[in-house]
Structure 1
Amino acid sequence: MSLIEQDGVTACYLTHAPLVRSYLRRFVPPQDIEDVLQVVFAEVWRCRHRYDPGRSLEAWLQGIARNRAIDYLRARPPATVSLDLVPEPRDHHDPVGHLGVRDQVRRALAVLPAPQREAIELAYYYELSQREIAVCLDVPLGTVKARTARALHRLSALVAA
């Protein structure tokens, strides 16, 4: 490794780390951004011979950052929370009727297959988009859409019964 190469990667880090850090904030939890950032620039160093100076350095760095963020997300176990731990909203107008519907929904959710229940919980309790659910569960977006649609259809039938 020549001193010129080392200085080039150091300059790249000093110049572009804020851009990459900002990009990673969209995918990686705040407490892990610096770790993923270091992995990104370690790969920049290892793969520096692959960079084409005729193309955008920022785009190349963001491509590497995207791939490392995906690797990070895939390595994490999916976050699940029991419905018993989710606080219930308060309805002061009709507390008895609301409790009955809530219990019906809870029983209906318990009947759903685990993948469908998980998609519904992530969408409605964690307010994740379908794309975010796909990344979280490491499944294709179409699979998330199908699971959600089937679950909602089944829930409406179960709650109406």
Structure 2
Amino acid sequence: MTLGPRIARGDETALTECYATLGPLVRHHVARLVPGHAVDDVVQVVFLELWRTRRRLDPSRSLTPWVLAIARKRAIDQLRSEARHQRRAVPLEEAGRVPDAAPAVDAACDVRKALAVLPVPQRQAIVLAHFGQLTQREIADRLNIPLGTVKARTTRGLRRMRELL
């Protein structure tokens, strides 16, 4: 039996096989649409959505175009999300009037710039964890995403910030 009908039936091993088979194609497709830092997150969302919407899949039709359509929609969502965030960014107010505060203000500016470069999902996880003082489980519950996704986003985001700083 092909992957489409097996996924539609809820066969989890079919999803694993689908990821192994279509993952590279989806990654290539997404990489042409979104910045490199967001590719992993978008690919993960594509297969998560494939699984969540499996009941709408028509088993008589090809699976590949359906998955690529999901990938295109999620890539566009990612680009829109980043664009919205860029428009909302507010510059850090100048606090450099106090001589002792200058190094702290410089460090805060550097951190703010590094956070602004991160993809929205990674930045969101880091901000909730470090400034919101939430645990990873609390972040997963608040954002309604799997705990592993929160861990991956936090790790990738912190790694990228370390490179930037």
If the length of structure 1 is used for normalisation, what is the TM-score?
0.45
Structure of greater Rg? 1
